[in-house]
């Protein structure tokens, strides 16, 4: 299973904000930290704000932050939101789908994938890694 670039960028934004919960952040600094397009991130952040994952404050001194604490943001909910309906191999377009057992097996695999993600909050994701190292990487930006 391969997630979309949109989901990849959304997760990157959320991790950045979770490691900088003490302050407002800018899209420009997040883009720089990840070495990705600011324009792409603007679309992602707009979507995340509309879905209630991030809060956006306009004007001088504005920026973005998590809409609620990282411990209250579910990884499964985030990925479900950014991915939408997941059709693992395009069974909906296959003439065999109405009679093929693989359709059910693939759907079961997707459900188990999301069930696994549902067990973790954004704070859990950070804790499973190396939080200090993650913040250091995000602060110093991508390596050349």
Domains of the chain: 5-140 (1.10.10.10)
Specify the pTM: 0.85
Q: Where are the alpha helices (DSSP H) in the chain?
A: 5-19, 27-34, 38-50, 75-83, 101-117, 122-128, 131-140
How many CA atoms, within 13 angstroms, populate the side-chain half-sphere of residue 50?
9
pLDDT tens for the chain, residues 1 to 144 = 678 999 999 999 999 999 998 899 999 999 999 999 999 999 999 999 999 999 999 888 889 999 999 999 999 999 999 998 777 677 777 788 778 888 888 888 889 999 999 999 999 999 888 877 887 787 765 554
Go through 22-31 and write b for each residue having 16 or more CB atoms within 10 A of its CB, e for each that does not: eeebebebbb
């Amino acid at each position: 299973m391969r997630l979309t670039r949109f989901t990849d960028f959304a997760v990157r934004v959320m991790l950045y904000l979770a490691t900088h919960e003490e302050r407002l952040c800018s899209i420009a600094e997040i883009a720089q930290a990840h070495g990705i397009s600011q324009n792409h991130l603007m679309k992602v952040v707009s979507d995340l704000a509309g879905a209630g994952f991030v809060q956006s404050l306009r004007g001088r001194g504005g920026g973005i932050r998590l809409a609620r604490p990282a411990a209250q943001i579910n990884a499964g909910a985030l990925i479900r939101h950014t991915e939408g309906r997941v059709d693992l191999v395009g069974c909906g377009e296959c003439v065999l789908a109405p009679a093929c057992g693989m359709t059910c097996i693939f759907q079961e695999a997707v459900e188990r994938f999301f069930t696994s993600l549902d067990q973790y909050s954004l704070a859990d994701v950070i804790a499973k890694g190396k939080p200090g190292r993650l913040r250091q990487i995000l602060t110093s930006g991508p390596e050349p």
